[in-house]
Structure 1
Amino acid sequence: MDLKIIILGGGSIGGSVAKELSSEENDVVVIDNNDENLEPIKSVEGIQTLFGNGSSPKMLEKAGLDESSLLLCLTDSEETNLLASLIGKEKFNAGRIVCRLKGSEYKEIAEEITPFVDFFINPEDLITEEIKDLLHHPGALEILDFAEGKIKLVSVYAKGSGILVGRQIKELKDDLPEYETRIPALYRDEELLIPTGETIIKEGDEVFFIADEKHIEDVTKELQKLESKYKNVYIAGAGNIGKSLAKKINDDFNTKLIEKNVEHCERASEELDGILVLNADAADKDFLSSEGIEECDVFVAVTQDDESNVLCSLMAKKLGSKKTITIINKEAYFDLVGKNELDIIISPVQITVSHVLKYIRKGSVSNVHKVKKGMAEAIEIIVDSSYQKLKGKIISDLKLDENITIPALKRDKDVLMVHGNTKIHDEDHLIVFYKDKDVIDNFYNTFR
C-alpha cells in the first residue's frame, strides 16, 4: 500500500521533497498558502496540491491526515510547523511527524511542547555540519554519517597520484595492513558500479569508501595525493547558513564572510565576534581580487539564490580560489555546471530528503543517505523483529547480487568490516549500499 505523505510548505525545500517522494509512488499532498509555491508542482504526477493554511484542522482533514500518515511540516514558519505538529497529533493522531526548525529560540522548548514529534529537522544545521566536515578533510567530495558518526561513507576522485589507482581493490589491504576499509561503490562514465575485489580503480573514478573519522586521510591517499590542510575560507552569503557556518569554523580557519545586503551585513557583524564581515558583491571581480582570492583555499557560496551561488563560485574559481563549495537547490542547475567548473555541490533538498527517508523505508532504519543525485542509497538498518530472518545468517548465505552490498556493521560499540563469513547478530546495525528502492524493498521482503 502506498504511504500517504502530507507536506506543509511547497517552497524550495517542501516542493522539492514532494517531487522526490512522489517519484517513489507515494500518495503526496502539499499544502501551502502561497499559490506561487504550488504552481510548479500542480502538474507533477502523484502530487495533490491544496491552497490554504497548513496548520488549519479543516485543511489537515481535507488532506486526509490520519494515523497511517506521515506529516512533514516543512514551511519557513516555525510557529506554523509546531502548531501543525500539535494539531496533527492531538486531533488526527498522525502516524509520524517530522517538524522543521531553523535554530531559533523554539529549539529549546520544541521537544517539551511537542514530545511526540519523531524528528526535528533543521536543514540549515545539517548543511553547515556537512560543509564543516568537508573543510576538515581536504579532497573529500562527500562525507555521510552512520552509526552516530562512528562510520563514515566518503567519496573522493581517483587521481594518477593515488597509490591504488591502476590496481585491484583487493590490493588495498596490502597497503593498509593495520586498518580495514571497504569500497562499496564507484561512479564511472556516468554509471554507478558496485565493485568486487578484482575491480581495477581507474583515474577519474569517484570512489566511495567506508572509514572512521581518524582513517579518512589514510584511505584518501590511496586514491589521490593528500591536499594540504585548508587555512583560508571565504563565505558568500550572511543568511542563516552563512552565519552558522562562520561561527562553527572560525576557530579552525581564517574566515571572511561576504554579504551584499547592508542590513544583513550589519546584523552579521553584531552577531559574530572576531569574524571579518565584508559588505560587497561576492561575484565582483575587482572586489575578489582586492581581497586576495588567490590565497583562498575554499570559497563557499551559501546565498539564498542558486544563480548567485553559481556565478560567484565560478568567478572565485577563475580568479584563483583553490576549491569551491556551492549550494544549489534547483535540480536544473546541476546539469548546467560540470565537475570541472564547480568542485563540490551541496543539495539542501537531497540532505532533507535523506533524513525524511528513514521514516519511509521499511523495517527499523537509523539512517538513509542518497548518493549521486539519487542514483543509489546507503541505509543503516537495525537487525530486530522487523528483520527477523537476518539473525544468525552468514553474509555469503544472503546471496546478494551486483545491485546491493553490505560493507560494514556496528555491533554494540564496535565497527566491523564485513566478510563473506561474518555472522549477523541480533541488534547489529548493518550498512547496506544499494542501487534503487526496489532492491531494498526486495531485501526487506526476503528477510523480514
Structure 2
Amino acid sequence: MKVVICGAGQVGFHIARYLAGEQNDVTVVDQSPELIGKINDQLDVQAFVGHAAHPDVLERAGAGEADMLIAVTFTDEVNMTACQVAHTLFNVPKKIARIRQQSYLDPAWQNLFAREHLPIDVIISPELEVARAIGRRLRVPGAFDLIPMGNDKVQVIGVRCDEDTPIINTPLRHLTTLFPDLNIVIIAILRGERMIIPSSTDQMLPGDEVYFVTDKEHMGRAMAAFGHEGKQTRRIVVIGGGNIGTYLAQDLEEADEGYSVRIIESSKARARQVAEALPTTNIIAGDGLDSEILEEANIRQAETVIAVTDHDETNILASLLAKRFGAERAVTLINKTSYGPLITTLGIDVVVSPREITASTILQHVRRGRIRSVHSLRDGFAEIIEAEALATSPLVGRPIKDAKLPKGVLVGAIVRDEEVIIPRPDTVFEENDIVIMMAAAETVKKVEKMFAVRLEYF
C-alpha cells in the first residue's frame, strides 16, 4: 500500500514507523527539517521537507499513486487543504485528517466535509478521543486502560498486579477451575519492558500489567478477582483547562452521575473561557503546582486528580504533588515515550498517551479486511483487533483448536448476535461473528487476510 503522511510529529512518526514495518510504501512530508531529519535517520521511509498542502509537494510525495493520505500536521487548515488537493488533483481514494478546532466539527456545519465540498473520509479529533478515553477509565476504578468492543458488549481492561492480587502465581489454565465464575481471557501480560501474549502455562506475577477480555455484564466480578472493588470516582480535580480538560468536564457534567469536577487553569483568560463554557463547573485560575491552589481545589478530598496540561513535566509533578496532598488516584497525560518506564514507579496510577490513542484510531482505517476497530499497545508491539468473520473467511465453520491461528494471535471473545462467548478450544467460528483478539505486530497482516472480503462474497 502506498501512503502519504503529512506531518512528522509524534503521531506521524508513529504511524510511519508502524506502516513501514509492514513493508508499506510510505512517504512523509513536513516543514520542519529537524523532524524530517529524525525520520530519515530512524525509519526506512521516504521523507522530505515541504508544505503538505502544496500540489507540487504532494506530487513529489507520490500522491498520484497513493492509496491513502494521512494529514496529521499541527495545523487543521493545512490538513484540510491537503485532503482537498489530494482528492481534486490526485484522486487519492482515502483521506484521513486530524482536526483539533471543534468549531469545524460542530454538527451544525457537518455538510462542510461532504464529498462535493471538502472531501475528508475520516476525521480524527485527538483531544476529544483522549477525553473520552479518560472518561471511560474513570468509570472502572482500578483499571489503567479500558477499551469497549463488540458493540459495547465486551470490555478489554488493563490492570496492574501486586502482592495482594488474588489470582497471581496461578497458571492461566487453572483459573477456570479455581475461579469458576471468572469469565475472562487474559490476552497480554506486560512485564517490565517485555510484552507476553500468554499461553496456558504462563502466570501473572506482582508488578505485571495485564490486559484481559470480559463480558461487560461480568466486569465487576472480574475486577474483584484482581482485588479491585473500589467505589466509582465522584470527586475529581482536573489540572489543565485546555480542550481535553474542558471536553472531559463537559462529558462528566452531561453524564448526570453525580460527579463533582473542579478545573485548575493557569491562564486567567482561558479560565474565563472555560467558565463560560461550563457554568456549573468550579474553575480555579492558578498554577496546579501551587500548594495553595491545590488546597483551594480541596485536593485532600479528591478521589482522582487528572493532569492534562500541555507539558508532561507539569502533569507528572502536579500528579505526584496532588497524591502527596491526599488525592487517591492520579491520571496523567504523557506525550514523551522516554518517560513511560518511569511513571508507574513514581506512583502514578494511569498514564494516557494522546499519540497512542490517535494512532490507534487511524490504524483501524488503515487495516484491510473486515476490521472494525484497532487498539495499539506499547508503540505497536501488538494490537487488540475487532473483526467480523464473513462467509468467505477460512475461520468460519472451524473450532478454534483447528483454525490454524498464527502464533502470537489469541482470541479473547466472540460476539454472536446479542451473546458474548468467552472462547474455549472447541468453540466454532460462525458467519458474522465479531471476533476480539490480541495479535502480535508480526501477525497483523495474517489476521487481515483471515478476515479479508473475497470476490465470491459478492
Q: TM-score, normalised by structure 2?
A: 0.88
How far residue 420 of structure 1 moved from its aligned partner, in angstroms, is 1.4
Structure 1 match to 2:456: none
Unpaired runs of at least 5, structure 1: none
How far residue 29 of structure 1 moved from its aligned partner, in angstroms, is 2.3
CA 34–371 in structure 1, closer or farther in 2 if over 3 Å, else same? closer
CA 99–114 in structure 1, closer or farther in 2 if over 3 Å, else same? farther
Which stretch of the first structure deviates more once superposed, 229-238 or 77-86?
Answer: 77-86
Which stretch of the first structure deviates more once superposed, 145-154 or 336-345?
Answer: 336-345
Structure 1 match to 2:408: 403
How far residue 42 of structure 1 moved from its aligned partner, in angstroms, is 4.3
Structure 1 match to 2:252: 249
- Write the distance in 1 (CA, Å) between the matches of 2:49 and 2:206: 51
Number of residues of Structure 1 aligned to a counterpart in Structure 2: 444
Please tell me the residue identity of whatever aligns with 2:134.
I
Structure 1 match to 2:444: 440
Please tell me the residue identity of whatever aligns with 1:150.
K
How far residue 397 of structure 1 moved from its aligned partner, in angstroms, is 0.5
CA 175–255 in structure 1, closer or farther in 2 if over 3 Å, else same? farther
How far residue 64 of structure 1 moved from its aligned partner, in angstroms, is 0.5
How far residue 177 of structure 1 moved from its aligned partner, in angstroms, is 5.0
How far residue 263 of structure 1 moved from its aligned partner, in angstroms, is 1.4
Structure 2 match to 1:278: 284
How far residue 167 of structure 1 moved from its aligned partner, in angstroms, is 3.6
Unpaired runs of at least 5, structure 2: 453-458
Matches within 5 A, 1:113-152: 113-115=113-115, 117-152=120-155
How far residue 351 of structure 1 moved from its aligned partner, in angstroms, is 1.0
Structure 2 match to 1:291: 297
How far residue 10 of structure 1 moved from its aligned partner, in angstroms, is 2.8
Q: Is the 8 A contact 1:8 1:75 kept in 2?
A: yes
Q: Is the 8 A contact 1:260 1:279 kept in 2?
A: yes
Of 32, 51, 54, which aligns to 2:49?
Answer: 51
Matches within 5 A, 1:234-383: 234-250=237-253, 251=256, 252-383=258-389
Which stretch of the first structure deviates more once superposed, 181-190 or 261-270?
Answer: 181-190
- Write the distance in 2 (CA, Å) between the matches of 1:254 and 1:297: 10
Structure 1 match to 2:455: none
Q: Secondary structure at the match of 2:365?
A: coil
Q: Is the 8 A contact 2:32 2:49 kept in 1?
A: yes
Q: Secondary structure at the match of 1:389?
A: coil
CA 175–134 in structure 1, closer or farther in 2 if over 3 Å, else same? farther
Q: Percent identity?
A: 27
Matches within 5 A, 1:67-216: 68-102=66-100, 104-107=102-105, 108=107, 109-110=109-110, 113-115=113-115, 117-173=120-176, 180-216=183-219
**1:419 matches 2:419:** no
CA 445–290 in structure 1, closer or farther in 2 if over 3 Å, else same? closer
Q: Is the 8 A contact 1:408 1:417 kept in 2?
A: yes
Structure 1 match to 2:63: 65
- Write the distance in 2 (CA, Å) between the matches of 1:71 and 1:217: 42
1:37-67: per-residue Cα shift (whole Å, max 9, x none)? 5454343332433333322222211110135
- Write the distance in 2 (CA, Å) between the matches of 1:349 and 1:93: 28
How far residue 70 of structure 1 moved from its aligned partner, in angstroms, is 1.7
How far residue 277 of structure 1 moved from its aligned partner, in angstroms, is 0.9
- Write the distance in 2 (CA, Å) between the matches of 1:334 and 1:199: 25
Please tell me the residue identity of whatever aligns with 1:349.
R
Which stretch of the first structure deviates more once superposed, 301-310 or 412-421?
Answer: 412-421
Root-mean-square deviation (Å): 2.6
How far residue 345 of structure 1 moved from its aligned partner, in angstroms, is 0.9
Of 12, 15, 30, which aligns to 1:14?
Answer: 12
Structure 2 match to 1:41: 39
Of 228, 233, 236, which aligns to 1:230?
Answer: 233
Please tell me the residue identity of whatever aligns with 1:241.
I
How far residue 152 of structure 1 moved from its aligned partner, in angstroms, is 1.4
1:123-160: per-residue Cα shift (whole Å, max 9, x none)? 11111111001111100010112223222110112344
